[in-house]
Amino acid sequence: MTKKLFIKTYGCQMNVYDSARMAELLAPIGYEVVETAEGADLAILNTCHIRERAAEKVFSDIGRLREHQEQKVRSGGRMLLAVAGCVAQAEGEEIRRRARNVDIIVGPQSYHRLPELIARASRTAGVALDTTFPADSKFDHLPGERTAAGPTAFLTVQEGCDKFCTFCVVPYTRGAEHSRPVAEILTEASRLAESGVREITVLGQNVNAYHGSDETGGTLSLGALLRCLAEIPGVARLRYTTSHPLDMHDELIAAHREVPAVMPFLHLPVQSGSDRILAAMNRRHDVDTYRRVVDRLRRARPDVALSSDFIVGYPGETRADFTATLDLVREIGFAQAFSFKFSPRPGTPAAALGDPVAEPEKLARLYELQELLNSQQREFNRAMVGRRLPVLLEAPGRHPGQLVGRSPYLQAVHLDAPRDKIGTVVEAVIVAEAPNSLVGRLADTAGRAAAA
Ligand code: SAH
Ligand code: SF4
Ligand code: F3S
């Protein structure tokens, strides 16, 4: 008897990975993923606590799901509602108090216990809650099999964070830094490759701090791990995210130079271009350190493109600090970036500073920064026109005959190609650009038309 499972995922790629693992965990006990909450037997909200808006959305979604739960009762069934992820971890008690229709609250380190929590919630009324950081790794309890949804996949190799940036909830919601053992990762990656995955994005809140144990009793850095992953038959491309500037070790930089599978694109958040603000944020590095990391990378891999995260309006950020951020953006040049207004988060050191930069000022800074970043992104995309790029084809495009894939720089590329090319890397000539994507055509290979 199959049961319907609806999962809504908020936040970062690690949550996307966790949602996929929850679905795999629940499949053997009869749950099949469906696209809408209507009629579901179990709805999971896999939540994000990073900014206030993200967390508040969860409470409104919980409210909306109540109607579906009532409908389900009218048709003689029951829809269990589970809140997972970082809001569950940080605000478990608050959810229990505010949202009576929630049956299960489970943190990011204990979701392997979902089958047990579901059983408990089905038997009784009241909330089944587990927001512990169990000593045994959840990975030991998740199924060995991975079901790939397409030619690209995420693979979490590191979790948690010990950096404690003053604004950030991650060290509290995900706990202390922990690296998965090398063998476990290689097994998971091999299974993914066997099921058709060509590109693996290795994930961690602080992925380049990775130091997993290997079978000799030693530890491997992320650079060394990427080399091992590149050896797996079928793995054509490797990416990793998110990195901290302080953990860009030589071995990792060398992997960019020497391992062709490592894509020349790096998300390397800097947050601010002001030394004063970086210090206040406890980022543990200054602007010049960031600059030097970028230099080392570019020397190793001259075509590397960069992406970043920025926070504007951090408490005490002056116009001069903000201008320093704009200057740094102009100096480095980003292919793409995310920028956010500072959001005070409960329990973080920065929350004690209030939110002194006035909202209109924060908004004005955000717009100014985004305008600059967007123009750089546009410029970067424009420079691709006329170039030949390898594109990993991932899925059917919007128009008949069209497929969509990704360039090495993570740009979406639309081109006409036969469907059986999905999952292969093709050479494409870029013929046009749009703000968020490129248009290409299959390049002639070895002097003959590849489109035939
Ligand atoms: N581990 C990553 C980032 C994780 S959170 C790193 O070290 O950079 C993703 C991004 O959200 C951060 O880079 C930051 O730009 C933003 N962010 C985190 N906390 C925030 C807050 N309180 N207000 C606004 N933006 C925030
Ligand atoms: Fe948060 Fe800083 Fe850790 Fe990134 S490095 S997860 S911003 S505390
Ligand atoms: Fe959000 Fe948690 Fe990821 S707070 S960004 S889902 S680690």
Residue 24 has pLDDT above 60, yes or no: yes
Q: Is the CB of 167 under 6 A from ligand 1?
A: yes
Instruction: For residue 301, report the distance from its CA to the centre of ligand 2, in Å.
Output: 26
Mean pLDDT score of the chain: 95
Contacts of 369 (CB under 8 A, 6+ apart): 310, 312, 322, 325, 326, 329, 339
Superfamily of domain 3-130, CATH level 4:
Methylthiotransferase, N-terminal domain (3.40.50.12160)
Give residue 452's pLDDT. 37
Residues in contact with ligand 2 by the CB-under-6-Å rule are 161, 163-165, 168, 170-171, 205-206, 244
Q: Please tell me the number of the ligand nearest to residue 19's CA.
A: 3
Beta bridge partners of residue 413, listed in sequence order: 405, 438
> Which pTM value belongs to this model?
0.95
If you take atom 4 of ligand 1, which residue's CA is the nearest one? 205
Please identify, by atom number, the ligand 2 atom nearest to the C-alpha of residue 171.
8
Is the domain 138-382 a CATH 3.80.30.20 member? Answer: yes
- Are 138-382 and 388-451 the same fold in CATH? no
Q: Tokens in use for 33?
A: 């993923």
Yes or no: say if 169 and 348 are a contact pair by the CB < 8 Å rule. yes
pLDDT digits (tens, 9 = 90+) for 320-367: 999 999 999 999 999 999 999 999 999 999 999 999 999 999 999 999
Does any ligand 3 atom lie closer than 6 A to the CB of residue 428? Answer: no
- Among 122-136, 188-202, 265-279, name the one with the lowest average pLDDT: 122-136
Amino acid type, 110: S
CA–CA dist 7, 40 (Å, integer) = 10
What average pLDDT score do residues 439-446 get?
Answer: 84
Q: Which atom of ligand 2 is least distant from the CA of 244?
A: 5
What pLDDT was estimated at residue 145?
81
Q: How far apart are the first and last CA of the chain?
A: 46
For ligand 1, whether the C-beta of 311 sits within 6 Å is yes
Backbone angles phi, psi at 301, to 5 degrees: -145, 85
Token digits of residue 345: 């988060």
Report pLDDT for 449: 43
The finding on whether 173 has its CB within 6 A of some atom of ligand 3 is yes
Q: Do 373 and 340 contact (CB within 8 A), yes or no?
A: no
Res 82 pLDDT > 70? yes
CATH 2.40.50.140 fits 388-451, yes or no: yes
Q: What is the mean pLDDT of residues 146-152?
A: 88
From the CA atom positions of the chain, what is the Rg in Å? 23
DSSP state of 45: E
Closest CA to 136 of 178, 182, 85: 178
Q: Ligand 1, residue 341: give the atom nearest the CA.
A: 24
| pLDDT surpasses 90 at 136 | no
Q: What is the mean pLDDT of residues 227-235?
A: 98
Where are the chain's structural domains?
3-130, 138-382, 388-451
Looking at the chain, the whole-number percentage of residues with pLDDT higher than 90 is 91
Q: Is residue 153 within a helix (H) or strand (E), and if so which, with residue range?
A: strand 152-156
Question: Which is nearest to 111 in space by CA: 14, 40, 180?
Answer: 14
Q: How far is CA 31 from the centre of its chain?
A: 25
Contact 74/67 with Cβ under 8 angstroms?
A: no
Q: Which atom of ligand 1 is nearest to the CA of 271?
A: 15
Given a cut of 90, whether residue 434 has pLDDT beyond it is no
| CB of residue 301 inside a 6 A radius of ligand 1 | no
Please report the sign of the dihedral spanned by the C-alpha atoms of residue 149, residue 106, residue 92, residue 339: negative
Residues 373-382: pLDDT tens digits?
A: 999 999 999 9
The pLDDT, as a whole number, for residue 445 is 64
Tens digits of residue pLDDT in 170-194: 999 999 999 999 999 999 999 999 9
The closest-lying atom of ligand 1 relative to the alpha carbon of residue 206 is 1
Quick one: average pLDDT of 421-428? 97
**CA of 5 relative to ligand 2 center, distance in Å:** 32
d(CA 34, CA 110): 23
Which ligand does the CA of 272 lie closest to? 1
Q: Tell me how crowded residue 162 is: count the other CB atoms within 10 A of its CB.
A: 12
β-pairing, 199-203 with 237-241?
A: parallel
